[in-house]
Amino acid sequence: MLIPHPLLGLRDAQEFTYLGDASLLNRPDPATPGAEAAFCDYVFLRDNPAGVHRELWFHEQGDRSWLVVTRNTLTHEILSAELASDVKAGAAQ
């Protein structure tokens, strides 16, 4: 599998390690009511679709960037890859 790194172009997936569901970017606010239950869901529950999945990959043998990769779990086709820092910054705006 080749991952289209936004800065470095196509890179072998072996250079990356995998974390999973990109919803892990959305850490709950510990100060809100119900935060304990929200954290349980955040830590233990995952979207696990058969189809398009947004997920976090770390370019460990590369520039050490985190990517949000959109990939089809049925075909392994990669639809897009973005820098997670950009995704996070975009969400914050």
- Which of 22, 53, 66, 68 binds other proteins (CB under 8 A)? It is 53
Q: What are phi and psi of 16, to 5 degrees?
A: -105, 155
Cβ 80 to other proteins shortest distance, Å: 16
- Joined tokens for residue 10: 């196509």
Q: Which residues pair with 56 in a beta bridge?
A: 20, 68
Q: CA 91, 60, 92 angle in degrees (round to 5)?
A: 10
Q: Does 80 bind other proteins (CB under 8 A)?
A: no
Q: CA 63, 64, 69 angle in degrees (round to 5)?
A: 95
Q: Does 49 bind other proteins (CB under 8 A)?
A: yes
- Which of 35, 52, 74, 89 binds other proteins (CB under 8 A)? It is 74
Residues near other proteins (CB under 8 A) are 1, 7-9, 11-15, 17-21, 37, 40-41, 43-51, 53, 55, 57, 60-65, 71, 73-76, 83, 85
